Amino acid sequence: MKLNTRQKQILAQLSGKEFVSVESLSVQFDMAAQTIRRDITQLCDLGLARRHHGGVGQLPSVENLSFGNRRVINADAKVRIAQQVASLIPDDASVALGIGTTMEAIAKQLLRKKGLKIITNNLNVASIFFQQSDCQVLVSGGQLRPQDQDLVGDQAVQFFNSFYVDFAVVSVGALDIDRGLMDFDLENAAITQSLLDNAQHKILAADESKWNKKAFALVAPFTRIDHFITDQLPSLEIGDKLQRCVKDITSC
């Protein structure tokens, strides 16, 4: 199901919040409470939010959402992030693209570039680049995860360890100001670590929804990142702390 603009904005507001009332949403959007309740019902039926009495809240953050649901959350923000990432990557560069739905948006923006060499374990990314003959695309081996449409395991890690690229572009399941980049399983963490270990320039592309999630697998501290591209930071305090460890932060 395709979300309408209002539903996307409701989801964006839920980032990091346990509860938003129907009444406040009705006032904000100047819509009848019944209309807001229909929006909330559809979001909950899709597994994107949790219904509460008189309102709606974010899903529990102890596990990742399904691939299909992650695709629609903050979709507009992911496009803006992807455009900014693409502006950092010149023609003829070598680029490693990892796990996640944000990588699809980035791949679509990179189609405008010439002479790229792409290495990836993300089958959706590979499919996007196959539309353009000017790009050289190398895909890892590994264990197929049909629901996530990617390849993981030792073969995938060894694949990324066989290259040293100009740019590694990564996203993760969660961000923590003290622990850095985190994810929901060790396979994802190992893939992202191998990308960061084998690139000259390291770009983190992650929207605001990645904050305040309780992933358990440590990936890397923020000091490993050269460029952090996001839609917005959750607070001025977090922005100040990030400035001390990330070379370049862009909100778009």
209-240 tens-digit pLDDT: 888 778 889 999 999 999 999 998 988 999 99
Residue ranges of the chain assigned to CATH 3.40.50.1360: 74-251
**Cα–Cα nearest to 164, from 112, 214, 95:** 95
pLDDT score recorded for residue 57: 82
CATH 3.40.640.10 fits 74-251, yes or no: no
CATH no., domain 5-59: 1.10.10.10
Please give the mean pLDDT across all residues of the chain: 89
Residue ranges of the chain assigned to CATH 1.10.10.10: 5-59
Q: Name the token pair of 141.
A: 């081996």
- Give the DSSP H or E segment for 183: strand 180-183
pLDDT score recorded for residue 47: 74
**Cα–Cα nearest to 97, from 249, 205, 223:** 205
Q: What predicted TM-score, i.e. pTM, was given to this entire model? A: 0.76
Is residue 63 over pLDDT 70? no
In eight-state DSSP terms, residue 113 is S
